[in-house]
Chain A
Amino acid sequence: MSVDEMNVAASQIKSQVQNEVVIELVNVNKWFGEFHVLKDINLSVYKGERIVICGPSGSGKSTLIRCINRLEEHQKGDILVNGVTLDSNLKNIDAIRGDVGMVFQSFNLFPHLTVLENCTLAPIWVKNTSKREAEETAMHYLTRVKIPEQAAKYPGQLSGGQQQRVAIARSLCMNPSIMLFDEPTSALDPEMISEVLDVMVGLAESGMTMIVVTHEMGFANKVADRIIFMDQGEIVEQNVPAEFFGNPKSERTKLFLSQILNH
């Protein structure tokens, strides 16, 4: 098989996987008081798709993905996750949150619990998993993010990179079908960024649906199926990485790319 043939085959597989929409945003609008943060956002995310969102600071990237698990409430439009509409129904919200993992810029590990307890808390208390089973799952994912030996430590005793990997493992312990990442590496020292990105690449290869807000363009180029550029609350442009970097269409995208790539 030639390289071309392989690519064609891969894209066919991908398109088969891709026909199932797992997240759908229709005309989503959000205001913080007077301030219009999200303007008519339309977005469909397919099962197994890896999406990278980038854009200048304050453009509403965090707000957008936080609307997907309802850490923020949108005021207009519809958000559907796995076919369930996000509204004020608390049952729906809890169900969706159990199936959508989130990793934060500032890790947000629970400092009063050990790494292992951080990972087993939600499975035990939300999914009623038995403690032993939850611990087995936790050790499985801690091994996958390559820090099983830190399980008994407290988050405060770990480095930033290790903490973020624990945070990823903690989300994975809920067996989510979708993972949201909000600038997972921007609070890290440069030498720790790659260890977290490696974990994320591994996750992407396993077929997880991922939405990643990041400025790591290398990562975006490598794993993204689609890159979305946001500015001032709008989706300005979206495309596959090759097109996005090689042939940006809007002026704003070009400006942003020139700024970020010349750094």
Chain B
Amino acid sequence: MANLDAADTTFRPKPNLPPPPNTVGAVGWMRKNLFSSVLNTLLTLGAMWLILSVAYTLFDWGVLKAVWVAENRRECLDRSPDGACWAGVIHWFNTFMYGRYPYAEQWRPNLGLVILILWMLPCWLPRVTGKIGIALSAVIIFPFLAGYLFAGGEKGLILQILVSAGIVTFITIWLHVLSCLLTGRSLPVHILGITGFTDKDDRLHKYPLIGAFGLALIVVLILQSGWEPPEVGTNLWGGLFLTLVISGVGITTALPSGVLLALGRRSRMPIIRVSCIAFIELFRSVPLITILFMAVTMMPLFLPETVTLNRLVQVIIAVCLFAAAYMAEIVRGGLQAIPKGQYEAAQSMGLNYWKMMALVVMPQALKLMIPNIVGNFIGLFKDTTLVSIIGLYDLLLMLKAVSQNPQWNGLYLEPFMFGTFVFFIFCFAMSTYSQHLERTLGSGQVRR
């Protein structure tokens, strides 16, 4: 102890001891987290028993004793009275997906889905430029193309132009993507090169681009004029397809209209502000089901009698208004989190209001709002099941309809299990993707 030799009193760290046994690895983890005390051990065992027995019962019912092939419910019950009758779900699977959409035309919804996926896919590809434009075009132009693809029938000139614009945009996007991936340069650069505009003034660059688009539009307009798939009335749309159409339109319009409403609510112009507040508060304080009823029964009263509204359109409008009001409040919350200094810095550099909002404020606010926005989307997706109450054959009503069919009378558990699974897949995917977005978007800015 009394050693005063300088060399010995200097601090020398001892080498770290190895961790005590039974604190590392799976065994160590379990000892620490599951069996650290008597109470903890009891809880662990109890919970395990619960999980196992539920899992086993489900497995026994849904797999071991399940019937996969049968003509009707009677047969299911005869073969295995306390097993699941998946034969019913399989028999009705097509109806769950498409409702009463004619079997021969079901390639159209499928094609629509494929086009949508291909349309959005470039947003996740590396080295592709103009992703915001691609995503925006999917929101703005794709719905017209898809809408016509699904509904078919005669098309007026405006619809023809919109459909052609959709086709041209889709082709343009993929030419652009291939050009980016293969040559590393964007499509506009190539067009400028071919037309010899590369060296000209930047302001002239838009003309060959607009020209090329216009030319393609005219060609497609002529080519598509003969294309007229048979009409499929929206009363035949149903199942998951209908659910996706309604919630898809609701989700894509909710964000832009919510942003506008939120900005309007903060506007300095009293008329805009008051009407935005009135709209938001009205639609937020009424349940969706009421809005749906109002849309179906009241909307015709405001329109001239000659206009007959499509019920699906009415419902979609109602869902969009409802979703917009909710989104507006979420966006407002996000806007409030942006410090005043950001606005001032943007203003002091001469950015006008819209540029300030679009370039500085909204990107930051939206990033903060991702969890809320996606939560709202999930809620909206599930809420669309309410349209079954006013007689649209969405997935939920289709599931319910099975039990009323004479052949499958009383079969409701299995269809609902299936529905649960479908909704879970979609909602879980959205939730997971939102967490992924949060992580990747937030990575650049550790400190603020």
On whether the two chains bind one another, the answer is yes
Query: A122-165 vs B: 1/0 string, CB under 8 Å?
Result: 10011000100000000000000000000000111100000000
**A111 CB contact (under 8 Å) in B346, B348, B352, B448:** B448
Contact, CB under 8 Å: A97 / B347: yes
Contacting pair A125 B367 (CB below 8 A): no
Residue of A nearest to B367 (CB): A112
Of the candidates A71, A121, A155, A174, the one whose C-beta lies within 8 Å of that of B347 is: A71
Q: What range describes how many residues of B lie at the interface?
A: 20 to 34
**Is A102 at the interface (CB under 8 A from chain B)?**
yes
B360 part of interface (Cβ distance < 8 Å): yes
Residue of B202, B346, B445, B447 near A112 (CB, 8 A) is B445
Question: Is the C-beta of B359 less than 8 angstroms from some C-beta in chain A?
Answer: yes
Kindly list chain B residues whose C-beta atoms are within 8 Å of the C-beta of A109.
345
Per DSSP, are chain B's interface residues mostly helix, strand or loop, or mixed? Answer: helix
- Closest CB-CB distance, B39 to chain A, in whole Å? 44
Nearest CB in chain B to that of A180: its residue: B348
Q: Is the CB of B349 within 8 A of A174?
A: yes
Asked if A112 meets B364 with Cβ closer than 8 Å, knowing A71-B344, A154-B444, A157-B446, the reply is yes
Q: 1/0 contact trace for A15-32 toward B, CB 8 Å?
A: 000000000000000000
A192-B341 Cα distance, complex, nearest whole Å:
21
In the complex, A243 has a CB within 8 A of chain B: no
**Set B202, B342, B348, B364: member contacting A71, Cβ < 8 A:** B348
Q: Are B348 and A106 in contact (CB under 8 A)?
A: no
The verdict on B351 contacting chain A, using a C-beta distance below 8 Å, is yes
Q: Which residue of A lies closest to B355 (CB)?
A: A125
Answer yes or no: A214 CB below 8 A from chain B CBs: no
B350 close to A (CB within 8 Å):
yes
Give Cα A95–Cα B349 distance, bound, in whole angstroms: 10
Interface mask (A90-113 → B, CB under 8 Å = 1, otherwise 0): 100011011011101010111110
Q: Judging by beta carbons under 8 Å apart, are A154 and B344 in contact?
A: no
Q: Does B46 contact A (CB under 8 A)?
A: no
Tell me if A112 and B444 are in contact (CB < 8 A).
yes
Most buried by A among B346, B349, B364, B446: B349
With most chain B CB atoms within 10 A of its CB, the pick from A109, A114, A125, A167 is A125
Q: How far is the CA of A90 from the CA of B339 in the complex (A)?
A: 23
Q: How far is the CA of A154 from the CA of B441 in the complex (A)?
A: 12
A97 x B348 contact (CB < 8 A) = yes
Count of chain A residues with Cβ under 8 Å from any Cβ of B?
Answer: 31
* Chain B 312-348 per-residue mask, 1 if CB under 8 angstroms from chain A, else 0: 0000000000000000000000000001011011111
B416 to chain A, nearest CB (A): 44
Flag if A94 contacts B344 (CB, 8 Å): no
Min C-beta distance of A203 to chain B, whole Å: 17
Q: CB-CB < 8 A to A97: which residues of B?
A: 347-350
Asked whether any CB of chain B lies closer than 8 Å to the CB of A253, the reply is no
Measured in the bound complex, the distance between the Cα atoms of B367 and A167 in whole Å is 23
A-B contact count (CB 8 A): 77
**Among the listed A106, A121, A171, which residue makes an inter-chain contact with B341, where contact means beta carbons less than 8 Å apart?**
A106
Q: Is A209 an interface residue (CB 8 A)?
A: no
A126 in contact with B350 (CB, 8 Å): yes
Q: Is the CB of B341 within 8 A of A126?
A: no
Given the complex of chains A and B, what is the CA–CA distance between A109 and B339 in angstroms? Answer: 11
Contact across chains for B351 and A156 when beta carbons are under 8 A apart: no
Once bound together, how far apart are the Cα atoms of A157 and B446, in whole Å? 7
From B202, B342, B446, A108 is in contact (CB under 8 Å) with B342
* Bound form: Cα–Cα A156–B442 in Å: 11
| B363: Cβ under 8 A from any A Cβ | yes
Complex Cα gap A102–B347 (Å) = 10
Contact with B along A43-83 (1 / 0, CB 8 A): 00000000000000000000000000101000000000000
Contacts of B349 in A (CB 8 A): 97-98, 101, 121-122, 126, 170-171, 174
> In the complex, what residues of A have CB within 8 A of residue B446's CB?
154, 156-157
Contacts of A156 in B (CB 8 A): 444-448
- Given A108-B341, A108-B345, A121-B359, the answer on whether A174 and B350 have CB atoms closer than 8 Å is yes
Q: Which one of B342, B351, B367 lies within 8 Å of A122 (CB-CB)?
A: B351
A125 lies within 8 A of B447 (CB)? no
Complex CA gap A71/B390 in Å reads: 53
CA distance A100 to B344 in the complex (A): 13
Asked whether A130 lies within 8 Å of B348 as measured between CB atoms, the reply is no
Question: For residue A122, which residue of chain B has the nearest CB?
Answer: B349
Residue of A nearest to B340 (CB): A108
* Contact between chains at A125 and B345 (CB < 8 Å): no
Let me know if A154 and B445 touch, CB within 8 A: yes
Closest B residue to A153 by beta carbon equals: B444
Q: Are B350 and A94 in contact (CB under 8 A)?
A: yes
A102→B367 CA distance, assembly (Å): 27
B443 to nearest A CB, angstroms?
9
With most chain A CB atoms within 10 A of its CB, the pick from B355, B445, B448 is B445
**Beta-carbon contact of A157 and B341 below 8 Å:** no
Residues of B within 8 A of A104 (CB): 341, 344-345
Bound-complex Cα distance A156 to B446 (A) = 6
- Distance (Å) between the CB of A123 and the closest chain B CB? 9
Cα–Cα distance between A245 and B220 once the two chains are bound (Å): 79
Q: How far is the CB of A62 from chain B (nearest CB, A)?
A: 11
A residues in contact with B352, CB < 8 Å = 90, 94
12 contacts between A and B (CB under 8 A): A69-B347, A101-B348, A102-B348, A104-B341, A108-B339, A110-B346, A110-B364, A111-B445, A122-B350, A154-B444, A156-B447, A171-B349
Given A69-B348, A110-B345, A171-B348: 15 more A-B contacts, CB < 8 Å: A94-B352, A97-B350, A101-B348, A110-B346, A112-B363, A112-B367, A114-B444, A122-B350, A126-B350, A126-B355, A130-B202, A154-B446, A156-B444, A156-B445, A170-B349
Residues of A bordering B, CB below 8 Å: 69, 71, 90, 94-95, 97-98, 100-102, 104, 106, 108-112, 114, 121-122, 125-126, 130, 154-157, 167, 170-171, 174
Shortest 6 CB-CB contacts between residues of A and residues of B? A108-B345, A98-B350, A122-B349, A108-B341, A156-B447, A97-B350
